[in-house]
Amino acid sequence: MRTIYYHGEVVTMERENDYQEAFSVVDGIIEAVGTDEEILGRRQEGDKLIDLKGKSVFPGFIDGHSHFVGVANALTQCNLSDANSFEDIISKMKDFIKVNNIAAGEWVCGSSYDHNFLIENAHPTKEVLDRISIVHPIVIVHASSHMGSVNSLVLRKMHIDENTPDPQGGKYYRIGDSMEPNGHMEEKAFISMQNAIPLPSREALMKLIIKAQDIYAGYGITTIQDGMVDSSLFQLLQYAASNQFLHLDIVGYIDLNNCRDLLIENKHLTNQYWNHFKIGGYKIFLDGSPQGKTAWLSAPYVGEEYCGYPSLSDEKLYKLIEESLIDEVQLLAHCNGDAAAEQYIYQFEKAIKQYVEKDNRRPIMIHAQLVRKDQLKRMSALHMIPSFFIAHTYYWGDIHITNLGFERAARISPAHTAEDLHIPYTFHQDSPVIQPDMMRTIWCAVNRKTRNGVFIGKEERITVWQAMKAITINGAYQYFEENEKGTISAGKIADVVILDKNPLCTEHDDIKDILVLETIKDGKTVYKKHS
């Protein structure tokens, strides 16, 4: 059966100012795009007609980077994003335990606290979290997802004590001058602890996975990334796919440092989706977060001699890059600081000289917060794509000004520089760090305004058209799906989003308020806003 959408403002994204009125869909594929007269002229008996009533239609939005299962799992956690003090965290977590009737011995997690916005301007310690409970293992995750704190019970369960050394690329914070852990930890120390937290049952997780897809679809997203897949997450996503729990496309990236065999054993999943799931390639971490002061910089944080630190040695990174090239898959590297960016670029430059025939895998620099112009030029030569967490300009812009100084802070997420260099780039929200709100991300890209109303790097602002390309055309290119997605064109998958206003014709300050009315995946409605 044919479905005809007509009387709309169809922004194809094929060319700037390419507006059409209608399109038709057959078996989940866009059949034709054109005027109302042209498309309605294809009408046959039994066809379904949908009047768009002048609403704006764009290609389905494509997530440049997030942690899909993390979004699902976060639905089971206490949201601490609006906590403003230690006492507030304690109160919210106690209420969460009570409301959810969580039995003694069961883990309790809080998410998205940010020490930068707490009265204490510090991270809670085990003493603080012990006030929540001494019979529940308590974990709270920082908004960056790169650090967090635990209570005394967790430390005992994990056998973390004064004899536990800091891992390479991570740190356990200590009490005073002693070696006794104070409960706060960052990077590999925290990530290793997190991996030991038991997940909900498979049945419960499937329900959460459905809800998580609904969240993404509500923001117009039709292709999602899970940007760090280990063995347990792979089994979970594979189970979700095999049992038809996925209705949006999920692209998973395997933890190269620990789980290379997963990709090698499932190479058939790297080229095409299987029930909406495929493997995109590998993922590695090279540093931390700038708001948590674990991003690796070439010059110190303001008022300090400290520059952050790397997650991997040069030798280890070269080996991992080499493995990705040998396996002929895409590599995603988490780089926030310019020193981490330099390490990635330099080691890739070295490796590609040995594997020049494999220089076609579009490596990705995730976040690329402080990447410099000179580095972007070298990235272009490597066909390396930056995926910017550009919403940092709003959410942590003021913090970056404090931590980095205004000049460096103004250069974060340099989308305009990338545009000038003709480098394709994408946008993401690193969800569950923040909600996968694409319209707010577009607003951030074209305004670059902090929470306190400071314009941060006006010269790095881009046009709305350029920003929309980042989440459509360029997003498809990042996933090697430019022939199937990214524009509303005949022959492409019918992934589209209907908005209440056209962002290309909306005042810049109002773009964040644009609503997703409907999201269509493979020609089927997967989200519809209730009036």
Residues 6 or more apart from 247 whose CB is under 8 A from it?
213, 276, 521, 524, 526
How far CA 62 is from CA of 67, 162, 220, 235, 502, in Å, comes to 14, 45, 9, 24, 18
pLDDT, one tens digit per residue, over 129-187 is 999 999 999 999 999 989 999 999 999 999 999 999 999 899 999 999 999 999 999 99
Contacts 24+ apart (CB under 8 A), 364-367: 364/65, 364/330, 364/331, 364/332, 364/333, 364/478, 365/333, 365/335, 365/341, 366/65, 366/227, 366/283, 366/332, 366/333, 366/334, 366/335, 366/428, 367/65, 367/334, 367/335, 367/336, 367/430
What number of helices (H) and strands (E) belong to the chain? 19, 24
pLDDT, one tens digit per residue, over 176-232 is 999 999 999 999 999 889 888 888 889 999 999 999 999 999 999 999 999 999 999
Q: How far apart are CA 307 and CA 404, in angstroms?
A: 10
Using an 8 Å Cβ cutoff, are 90 and 131 in contact?
A: yes
DSSP assignments along 13-80, one per residue: SSSTT-EESEEEEETTEEEEEE-HHHHHTT--TT-EEEE-TT-EEEEPEE-SS-BHHHHHHHTTSEE-
Residues 6 or more apart from 6 whose CB is under 8 A from it?
21, 22, 36, 39, 40, 49, 50, 51, 52
Cis? peptide before 432, omega within 30° of 0: yes
Strand order in the sheet with 385-388: 61-62, 221-229, 249-255, 277-285, 330-335, 364-367, 385-388, 426-427
Using an 8 Å Cβ cutoff, are 66 and 426 in contact?
A: no
Residues 6 or more apart from 41 whose CB is under 8 A from it?
none
DSSP 128: H
Residues of each domain in the chain carrying CATH 3.10.310.70: 77-195
Neighbours of 530 (CB within 10 A): 3
**Residue for token digits 């991996």?**
195
Q: How far apart are CA 284 and CA 125, in angstroms?
A: 29
251 Ramachandran zone, left/alpha/beta (phi>0; psi -120 to 50)? beta
Residues of each domain in the chain carrying CATH 2.30.40.10: 2-54
Q: How far apart are CA 239 and CA 417, in angstroms?
A: 42
Q: How far apart are CA 40 and CA 288, in angstroms?
A: 53
How far CA 208 is from CA of 198, 200, 379, 428, 509, in Å, comes to 15, 10, 38, 21, 34
Query: β-strand 426-427 against 48-51: which pairing, if any?
Result: unpaired
pTM for the predicted model, two decimal places: 0.94
Using an 8 Å Cβ cutoff, are 115 and 403 in contact?
A: no
Q: Which CATH number fits domain 77-195: 3.30.1120.80, 3.40.50.2300, 3.10.310.70, 3.10.20.30?
A: 3.10.310.70
The helix-helix angle for 338-354 and 373-381 (nearest 10°) equals 20
Element (H or E) spanning 379, and its range?
helix 373-381
Which two three-digit tokens encode residue 499? 């908005």
Supply the Cα-derived Rg of the chain in whole angstroms.
23
DSSP 515: P
Please name which of 396, 388, 347 lies closest in space to residue 364, comparing C-alpha atoms.
Answer: 388
Residues of each domain in the chain carrying CATH 3.20.20.140: 202-480+492-521
Strand order in the sheet with 170-174: 78-79, 108-113, 138-142, 147-150, 181-187, 170-174
Q: How far apart are CA 363 and CA 281, in angstroms?
A: 10
Please name which of 333, 379, 366 lies closest in space to residue 64, comparing C-alpha atoms.
Answer: 366
* Alpha helices (H) in 219-297, listed in sequence order: 231-242, 256-265
Residues of the chain with pLDDT under 50: none
Using an 8 Å Cβ cutoff, are 63 and 476 in contact?
A: no
Q: How far apart are CA 148 and CA 187, in angstroms?
A: 9
Length of the chain: 531
Structurally, at CATH architecture level, domain 2-54 sits in: Roll (2.30)
Residues 6 or more apart from 108 whose CB is under 8 A from it?
78, 93, 96, 97, 102, 132, 133, 136, 137, 138, 139
Q: Which CATH number fits domain 202-480+492-521: 3.20.20.140, 3.30.300.30, 1.25.40.10, 3.30.360.10?
A: 3.20.20.140
pLDDT of residue 255: 97
pLDDT of residue 48: 97
Which two three-digit tokens encode residue 22? 């209608």
How far CA 58 is from CA of 224, 479, 516, in Å, comes to 17, 19, 11
Q: Is the C-alpha dihedral spanning 92, 98, 100, 102 positive or negative?
A: positive
Please name which of 389, 402, 335, 336 lies closest in space to residue 363, comparing C-alpha atoms.
Answer: 335
